[in-house]
Structures are given as structure tokens and as C-alpha cells.
Amino acid sequence: MSTVSVSSVRKNFGRVTAVKDVSFEVFPGEIFGLLGPNGAGKTTTIRMMLDIFEPDGGEISVFNGRIDEAKKKRIGYMPEERGLYKDLQLEQTLVFLGTLKGLAENDAKARLEGWLKRLDLYDHRQKKIQELSKGMQQKAQLIATLLHEPDLIVVDEPFSGLDPVNTRLVKDIIEEQREAGKTIIMSTHQMYQVEALCNRIVLISNGRTVLYGEVSQIKREFSGNAIVLEGQGDFSNVPGVLEARRQNGAWHLALNSSVNPQQVFRHLAQQDGLQIERFEIAEPSLDDIFVRVVQEGKEAEEVRYA
């Protein structure tokens, strides 16, 4: 049974439609990626899911029904707009937030000690939040999200502001939560993190679900739409290519769905100024898929309004 079920939800703010038609389900024991470009409607969808906004249409079910005060205690939420009480001490703030989530004060203190030690914040527990570095505040926010051991964890850009060591630490913690059977929804623009962590994803663009399913399945479906090239010349302006980028001396080209690698190869072979040394059909990265789906969605939208 799904932990979260979002079905054809819609939300308007005055004349602006933030979410037009978004659907997905999330299950226990998985890390689910909620992806999309800026302004696509991800945050609004999360806020509807958490009962901050009421949807104008569609249905949302959390823990098998409408969200209520008791269910809120089973949720840990780390919003994109981070914030803790700046003029309060770290320990005092986290204990207070833990008690609001239903923990007894002593339990909150006992659990907090372990988290503070693990995240290297124990020596800073008496400091005011405003005295902590951005990375420390980010880790404190993660503790506030997990201290009450929630069943559903919603994290928005969990790695922003973290150095590689702490990124690894947070990644490990998220994976631990999955192994413990928790449901995790992660929204991020860091596609390599999604590839590394997420079982399934939904991609929202312009307020609609444009891609939804298992990461491995999606990558299989999009294979053949990306090529890796090595050679002499400029490969950045090839017809039918959505995005061309250079990486480690090789060109990575994301192809439009209307062209295939053979057509691109033929075109390149006819160009006098270009010399091909390596031509390889690549399994697309999520990054490539993201760019392609979003750009094609934009073009389709422009055609619709033209």
C-alpha cells in the first residue's frame, strides 16, 4: 500500500495555475525523486501533500487518507527555504521542535545527543543558530527532520550548502532511512544524486507530470537518444541535438526524439570541417533525459499557444 498517493491534483493562485495535472504514488522503503525545472510546481505539490495548501482539484492521500494532526507527527519535512530560530540555542531549538512532533522532552534530549555527535555538532549545541555556519545549520535542519523518527520523510534539496564529506554523510543517512523501511521523497536538481539514490522518479514540467516510473526503466526507454563523440571540430551546432556539452575531452549530445543516431552520424560525416574519431551510442544520464523532456515539453507548449 502506498504511503502517499497524488492523483490529478490542480492548484491555482488567482489567475496563475501552478499545478495543472500531477499524479504519482510513493511506497514504503523507497527513495522517490520529485524532479522538475524551477517553477514547475514541485514545491506547490509538496505543500499540497503536506496540507499547507488545499488543492483545487484531484485527490491526495497520505497514510491512506486525508492528512490530520496525528499524521503530521509521522512526517519529517525539510523545506527548500531552510529556517531555524536564529536567536535560540541549537539544542533548545531542536528539543522544542522534537516535542512539537510528539516526543517527551527527555526522549528528545536523549535522541538528540546521538544525532549531534554523529553530525559533528555536539560541541556547538549551546551556540545560537545564527553563530553556526551554513553547512552546520543545514545539518541541524536534517536533525529536526529526523529526530522524531518519521515514517514519511520529505527533503527538498538536501545536499545544498554541504561539502563533499557532509554530502556523503547525508546520503548515507538517507539510505539508512530507506533500509529502515521509511518512505522518502527527495526533490533536487542534482541529477547524479537522483541516479545514485532514487528507485523511482516523477518529472514535473509546467505543472504536469511528464515522466514517471523506475529510474532504470526510464533510462532504458531513452537509450539511443544520446551519443558520445570524440573528434576534431565544433560539434555544438548539430541539427536535432537538444544539448551538447564537453566532458573529459568528449562531446555528449542529447538528441531530439525525432532524430536517431544514424541520421546524426550521416550528417556529421558529410561535414568537411569535422573529423570523427569515436562515435558511441550512450545510455543517457538522467540529466540528459531531464533536459530533453523539459525542452520538448516547452516546444510543445509553444506550438500549442502558437
Partner 1 sequence: MRNFWLLARHEYRKLVSKRSFLVGTLGFPLIIMMVMAAGIFIAIRGDQNTPIGYVDNAGLINTAVVPQTDEDETLLPLRPFPNETAARQALTDQEIQVYFVIPADYRRTLQLDAYYWQDDPSSTVVSDFNAYLRANLASDYPASIRTRLVEGPDLVVRSADGSREFNSRNIFSFFIPFIAAFFFIFVVMSSSGYLLQVVTDEKENRTVEIMITTVSPGQLIGGKALGLLAVSLTQVVIWVLAGVVAVFIGSFFIEALRFISVPWSLLLVVIFFFVPAYAFIAGIMTAIGSAVTELTQAQQIAGILNLLFLLPFFFTALFLANPNSPILVFLTLFPTTSFITVMMRWGMSTVPLWQLALSWLILVGSAMLSVWVAARVFRTGMLRYGQSLSLKEALTAVRSRS
CB 181 within 8 A of CB 208: no
- Between residues 50 and 173, which has the closer beta carbon with respect to partner 1? 50
* Position 61 contacts partner 1 (CB under 8 A): no
- Between residues 100 and 269, which has the closer beta carbon with respect to partner 1? 100
Contact stretch for partner 1 (CB under 8 A) within 29-37, 73-81, 233-241, 284-292: 73-81
Q: Binding residue for partner 1 (CB under 8 A) from 27, 85, 265, 279?
A: 85
CB 127 within 8 A of CB 157: no
- Between residues 55 and 284, which has the closer beta carbon with respect to partner 1? 55
CA 145 – CA 283 distance, rounded (Å): 35
Q: Binding residue for partner 1 (CB under 8 A) from 7, 28, 29, 88?
A: 88
Minimum CB separation of residue 121 from partner 1 in Å reads: 18
CB 289 within 8 A of CB 218: yes
Torsion angle of alpha carbons 62, 64, 69, 71, nearest 10°?
A: -70
Contact stretch for partner 1 (CB under 8 A) within 21-29, 68-76, 228-236, 264-272: 68-76
Question: Under rule CB under 8 A, which residues in 27-56 are in contact with partner 1?
Answer: 47, 50-54, 56
Using only the alpha carbons of the chain, give its radius of gyration: 22
* Position 110 contacts partner 1 (CB under 8 A): no
Residue with cell 536564529: 86
| Contacts with 299 (C-beta within 8 Å, 6 or more apart), sequence order | none
295 exposure class (CB count in 10 Å sphere: 0-12, 13-18, 19+):
middle
Chain centre distance of CA 194: 7
* Position 127 contacts partner 1 (CB under 8 A): no
| Contacts with 257 (C-beta within 8 Å, 6 or more apart), sequence order | 225, 292, 296
- What is the DSSP-derived secondary structure letter of residue 163? -
Pairing of strands 75-78, 200-205: unpaired
CA 21 – CA 163 distance, rounded (Å): 36
Minimum CB separation of residue 84 from partner 1 in Å reads: 6
Q: Binding residue for partner 1 (CB under 8 A) from 81, 123, 272, 302?
A: 81
Q: Binding residue for partner 1 (CB under 8 A) from 16, 38, 70, 83?
A: 83
- Between residues 25 and 51, which has the closer beta carbon with respect to partner 1? 51
Q: Binding residue for partner 1 (CB under 8 A) from 59, 65, 66, 100?
A: 100
* Position 4 contacts partner 1 (CB under 8 A): no
Contact stretch for partner 1 (CB under 8 A) within 66-74, 187-195, 232-240, 265-273: 66-74
The sheet with strand 16-26 has its strands ordered as: 57-62, 4-13, 16-26, 208-214, 200-205, 31-35, 183-187, 152-156, 75-78
- Between residues 66 and 86, which has the closer beta carbon with respect to partner 1? 86
CB 254 within 8 A of CB 226: yes
Interface map 129-148 toward partner 1 (x if CB under 8 A): ---------------x----
- Between residues 84 and 276, which has the closer beta carbon with respect to partner 1? 84
Q: Binding residue for partner 1 (CB under 8 A) from 10, 20, 72, 128?
A: 72
* Position 69 contacts partner 1 (CB under 8 A): yes
Q: What residues line the site for partner 1 (CB under 8 A)?
A: 14, 47, 50-54, 56, 69, 72-73, 75, 77, 79, 81-86, 88, 96-97, 99-101, 144
